[in-house]
Amino acid sequence: MSDTLFDVIVLGSGAAGQTIAAKCAKSGLSVAVVDELPFGGTCALRG
């Protein structure tokens, strides 16, 4: 059995989550994004 490990786990996929996930991935870190809502978080129009 193989375990998957991540360097960074981002909670939420809103603007802040997407920004930090992208910066970490571009620097070579493995990133997991966890969100209970559809990708993109809650925008001003929906929230």
pLDDT tens per residue, range 5-45: 999 999 988 888 889 999 999 999 999 999 887 766 666 65
pTM: 0.71
Q: Which residue has the tokens 């981002």?
A: 10
State how many domains the chain has: 1
Please check whether residue 22 lies inside any domain of the structure: yes
Please check whether residue 27 lies inside any domain of the structure: yes
The predicted pLDDT at position 15 comes to 85
Please check whether residue 44 lies inside any domain of the structure: no
End-to-end CA distance of the chain: 41
Query: Is 19 strand, coil or helix?
Result: helix
**45 Cβ partners below 8 Å, 6+ apart?**
none
The predicted pLDDT at position 42 comes to 63
Please check whether residue 29 lies inside any domain of the structure: yes
Please check whether residue 13 lies inside any domain of the structure: yes
Range of the domain at 16: 8-38
Continuous segment of H or E residues that includes residue 11: strand 8-11
